[in-house]
Structure 1
Amino acid sequence: MRQIFFDTETTGLRAEAGDRIIEVGCVEMVNRQLTGNNLHLYINPERPSDEEAVRIHGLTDEFLADKPKFAEIAEQLLGFLAGAELVIHNAGFDVGFMNAELRRLGKPPLTELVGGVRDTLLMARDMFPGKANSLDALCRRLEVDNSSRTLHGALLDAELLAEVYIRLTRGQDALLIDDSSAQSGQSGGEIRIEAVDFSRFELPVLRCDEAELQAHQAVLADIDKASGGKRIWQEDSAPA
């Protein structure tokens, strides 16, 4: 699966009032591996930025004056995003701004041009109800180093979001069984499995030693922390 961690910076907060995108950051991940194939663009918004917005991202009108306009980078950006699932924190904001820019060019909405959109803010609210779930809050909770984030920046924020997402979802993939060997025996869309008479075998019962038990408990603690305390098994079910 190809995923793009996506973030924007803007001249203000209201796309419907004419605020524009000034920076785009895209971080590519394929099959849960960051590829290093990222895209970072500054954009001339053709209008001034709000003072409060400049305090947040530090991108002045003077800095952006010689940067390309959105119409000049649209095909490059859309080509990079094509077919991928976008992973965005508070997706409604960034998608709303992208749709406004695409409407100006007579193009369809973003969701029709990519493989899908996943909102990590909604994921975090489900996992940590009642808690702060900003990107900074998630970095602190999931032990992602965001010490370099003195200002908001689209590429930096996309990189941080990628680390946050990996930690938010690591329990999902850690328990999956690799079925590649079973698939190799697949024929005509079916998997053929030879019946085995297990009564022919005497299976030994191997007891774990103290070191193995402690290692097991450490793994359970890591999964418990990653799931926000939502694991469904009980401590007394651990092997004796």
Structure 2
Amino acid sequence: MASRDEVAAARVVARNAAVRESRGALRQWLRHPLEILPWVGLSALIAATLLVCTLVVAAIASPDPSLAGQLIAADPTVRTSDFLFVLGRNGTVLALHLMVCFATYLVRRSLPLQAAEMRGLQGVVHRHAATPALLVVAALTAFSLLQQAVTLGHTLADVAAESHTSPALILVRLLPHAAPELTAVFLPLAAVMWLEQKQRSQDLLAATIVCAVIAIPVVILSAWIEVAVASRFF
């Protein structure tokens, strides 16, 4: 077992590295904000993939028109509580994806730094924790995508059946708020994929902060458009 002094020293090393590297990354992105654009493009691609999967689910689902009211954008009687519901739903998904970004940083950067300062069992655990931890992160991400595709697909099928139109047409009507909303909530996942591909795991903590700053206002605005605008003209 590593001594308490070793554990404390390892945590100090990891904390100092996190502060130093995150400050450097944030300064770099402030000077060159276009470096973040690939994340946005990749996030939009993930969002488009989810929408295609949603259409597939809607096509094979058994619709129940009585449940069509679940789609707030199709309900002209929406209230403030509906806005808070949409905001809470989308905010939860965004929070999950931000945690994925942060957890990937811990696994890929923080744990190895701490492991280098530890001996004994704790050092072994820290050195070999990356793979199972990454598997957990990947499983959470896959669950998030699958759950959203299934939920949205069934809702889309119900609304399409109630309005006697196609799921694709309903989806097109939802795009003005759904496209920016999904791009925002998937931005942390896109950042993870892009930075990992570039072998820049040390920048993931800073990326978590940047994604939160960018995505939160977009999620709020998209929720307002869904409730206050889309529901009036659906």
TM-score category (smaller protein): under 0.3
Report which of the two structures shows the higher radius of gyration computed on alpha carbons. 1
Structure 2 length-normalised TM? 0.25
Structure with the larger RCO, 1 or 2 (CA within 8 Å, 6+ apart): 2
* TM-score between the two structures when normalised by the length of structure 1: 0.25
Bigger proportion of residues as helix: 2
Higher strand share: 1
